[in-house]
Chains A and B, each alone.
Chain A
C-alpha cells in the first residue's frame, strides 16, 4: 500500500502532492541518498530537476559540510584533531593560569601585605613628622603650629 515517508524539513512539495507511485519513488530515493542530491531517480530525473533541489532542503551548514567531502580522510581527521587539541590546550592553559594567579595573589596577600602596610605607614608617619619639624624649627613664623592631621584643629593664625 502507499506509505508516506516524511522527510524532516521537507514539507514543501512532497507531502502536499498526491501520493502517486512516481512521487513515492523519488521520495524514497531522496530520503535514502540525501548527500547526493543529483542522483537520478527512476525516470523522473530530467523532469523533476527543480523539484529535486527543493526536495533536498539542506541548510547552509550542511552544504558547506558537504564540501569538506572533497578533502582526503587523513587531512580531515588531522585538521579536526589539531583544532580540538588546540582548543583544549587553550582552555586548560586558561584554567591553569587562573589557579597559578590565585595561589600567587592569595599567598602574597597573606605573607607580604601586612608588612608592606606597616612599613608604608611608618614611612608616611616619619615624613609627616619631618614636615612638622621643618615647620616648627625651620624658617618658622610664630604663627603656625605643626599641622596635625585631623587630631586637633589647626591653631588660628595670630595676626
Chain B
C-alpha cells in the first residue's frame, strides 16, 4: 500500500490569447516534416536576407493589440504622420480551428480597415495537407485596388505555385504567375518563374516574362538570386554570430534602367531586449529601426530614422506597441 498518487487530469491550460493568435499569423516557410525536403515557396526565396532589412516608418504610431480569445485578436492603430494624413486603423485576426502543427492553424483571416473604408484583407487556408491557398484583397476609396489569389502545392522536394492577380473579367485583364522551385541537392534549390500579363493596355494584348532562380544554403550563409527578363536580383545573407546577421542585396531593373545595392545588419541584444536593424544603400540612404521591449510589461518601443543624403530628407518615426 504505497501512496497512490491521485492526480486528476490536468486541464490543458489554454495558451495566452496573444501568443496563440500571433503565432500562426505568417505561415512559416521552413520545411514542415522531419524528412521533408521542401524548399518553401518561391516568394520566400530571399526571405532570410530580406528579414534583416529594417522597415522604416514615419511619424508617431500607437498600436494596441488585444487578444479576445484563443482564436481572435484585434488591434487598434493610431498614426500621426506628416506625409500621410493621420488616421486610425482597426485590424482583426481570426485563426481557425484546423490545427496543422503546434504553431500553425488554419484558416487564418487578417484584415484592417480605416474609417473611410480602405480595407486590406487576406485569407489563408490549407485546402489539403500539401495545398495552401491565400487570397489578398485591397479596397481603396470604394474601388477594388488589387486582388491576388495564390495556390501553393508543396511536394516532397518541390513547391509549385500559381498566382492570379487583378483578374478583371469585365475588361479582360490580369496577371498570372507560375513558380516552380525544386530542391536539387541538400543545399541547392533551383527554380523558374513565368509571369504572364494580358489585357487591353498591354501592347500586343499579352506579354510574358520568364526568369530563373536559385538558392544555395551554406552553414552560416545563404546566397540566392533571380535572373530574368525583368532584371537581376541577388541576395546574400550571412550569420556572423548568434546575435549578428548581415544581408546584402543587389537589385537591377531593366525596365527602369537602374540598379540599387543595399546592405543591412541586424543586432540582437537579448539582455537589453533590443533588436536593432540598420541599412545603407547606394542611393545614399541610411536608415535604422530599433525595437525595444520594455519588460516586464508587454510594451514595445520602436524608433525609426531614415536619412536621404542627396535630397537632404530626414524621416523620424516613433512607435509604441502595447500587447
Contact = CB atoms under 8 A, between A and B. Distances in A.
Does chain A bind chain B?
A: yes
Interface of A: 103, 106-107, 110-112, 114-115, 118-119, 121-122
Contacts of B286: 106-107, 110-111
A111 B286 CA distance: 7
B293 to A, nearest CB: 12
Given A106-B286, A107-B286, A122-B271, A114 B276 contact: yes
Contacts of B309: 103, 106
Nearest to B292: A118
A10 to B, nearest CB: 54
A26 B314 CA distance: 71
B270 to A, nearest CB: 10
Q: Is the interface of B mostly helix, strand, loop or mixed?
A: strand
Contacts of B52: none
14 contacts: A106-B286, A107-B280, A107-B307, A110-B287, A110-B288, A111-B280, A111-B286, A114-B276, A115-B269, A118-B269, A118-B272, A119-B269, A122-B269, A122-B272
A119 B290 CA distance: 13
Contacts of B271: 122
Contacts of A121: 272
B232 interface: no
Contacts of B303: 114
Given A110-B286, A110-B288, A111-B286, A118 B307 contact: no
Interface string B304-320: 01010100000000000
A3 to B, nearest CB: 62
Interface residues of B, number: 18
B24 interface: no
A111 B278 contact: yes
Interface string B251-275: 0000000000000000101011010
Given A103-B309, A106-B286, A110-B307, A115 B280 contact: no
Contacts of A112: 278
A141 B142 CA distance: 74
Contacts of B290: 114-115
B307 A106 contact: yes
A132 to B, nearest CB: 17
Nearest to A111: B278
10 closest pairs, A vs B, by CB?
A: A111-B278, A107-B286, A114-B290, A110-B305, A118-B272, A110-B288, A115-B276, A122-B272, A110-B286, A118-B274
Given A106-B286, A107-B280, A110-B288, A115 B307 contact: no
A123 B136 CA distance: 46
Contacts of B288: 110-111, 114
A115 B288 CA distance: 10
B278 A110 contact: yes
A47 B303 CA distance: 89
A30 to B, nearest CB: 58
Interface string B191-233: 0000000000000000000000000000000000000000000
Name the residue among A112, A114, A122 with the largest chain B CB count within 10 angstroms: A114
Given A110-B286, A111-B286, A118 B276 contact: yes
